[in-house]
Amino acid sequence: MVPCRRSPRSSNPAFCGKATSSDVRSGSPAYGENSDLEQANIMNISDSTIIITGAARGLGAAVARHLGSAGAKLALIDLTADSLDATLSACRNIGADARAYACNVADESAVEQTFAAVVDDFGSFNGLVNNAGILRDGMLVKAKDGEIASRLSLADWQAVIDVNLTGVFLCGREAATGMVRLGSPGWIVNMSSISRAGNFGQSNYSAAKAGVAALTSVWAKELARHSIRVNAIAPGFVKTEMVASMKPEALARMAAGIPAGRLCTPEEIAHACAYLIENDYMNGRVIEIDGGLRL
């Protein structure tokens, strides 16, 4: 990452080389051959080995196809190897070097072994798309006429926290460990959600995704010294296989509340992921891809 340098014309340390017309005419380093912009270390997807969790379907599969089409080598992770068959075939059909790994991202030893296997197979890796996640929606307390009908169970709370937050932590930690040991600059893209602001019936999911956003900021600060960038994407309502199976009237009601008038496609999330990979000055940010929707 290229640091912001103080201008010789300004005592303001926040000045980031904004050039005057005389700078342009004189071929100042701000715009000349040795400019920071030209020296920026732009991450080239086609030169990268990328680990993607939750790659069997939905957003993970779309990201895998998008990055594979750009020439990335792919380490695809999901709970079972069989579930990755479709994504693996799709990526190989477009010419990508892709391999599948079965791993429970909430299991510390399984994560460590899987990342070690990726290094054994590919030699190194450059990035992680921390995407694995599950849903166990339910109201904290559901009551009618003063009678408690149901409560969000501890099991459903813990299952979501284990995968969506602890899994992100374990995979992020292992990715950072590997990059530092290998001396390899790299990046992590975490998958948060606009539900991190709090969404009805999603105590567990909202808490986990808020935690992911916080981890993104913390890790960006801690890992910058190792040339590792960390960003996150916060999708709105995305037309994944699960959502697409809903009744048409339910989909219409969902889309009606979005200013863009439609659901996001998984490919649009994949496009945002590619942007975060290739823009070397993006760090510590959560990018909302939500069509203007605010929860």
Residues facing residue 187 across a β-bridge:
127, 229
Task: State the Cα–Cα distance between residues 128 and 109, nearest whole angstrom.
Answer: 18
CA atoms within 13 A on the CB side of 1: 21
Torsion angles phi and psi, residue 230, rounded to 5: -135, 125
Query: Which residues are 231's β-sheet partners?
Result: 189
- Residues 78, 110 contacting (CB under 8 angstroms): no
Q: Residue 78 forms beta bridges with which residues?
A: 102
Helix/strand number for the chain, H first, E second: 11, 9
Other CB atoms closer than 10 Å to residue 80's CB: what's the count?
12
Residues 6+ apart with CB under 8 A from 145: none
Q: What is the DSSP string of 9-37?
A: T---TT---PPPHHHHHHT-TTTSTT-HH
Q: How far apart are the first and last CA of the chain?
A: 34
- List 101, 205, 275, 281, catalytic entry: 205
Active site residue 281: no
Judging by DSSP bridges, how do beta strands 49-53 and 73-78 pair with one another? parallel
Residues forming the active site:
205
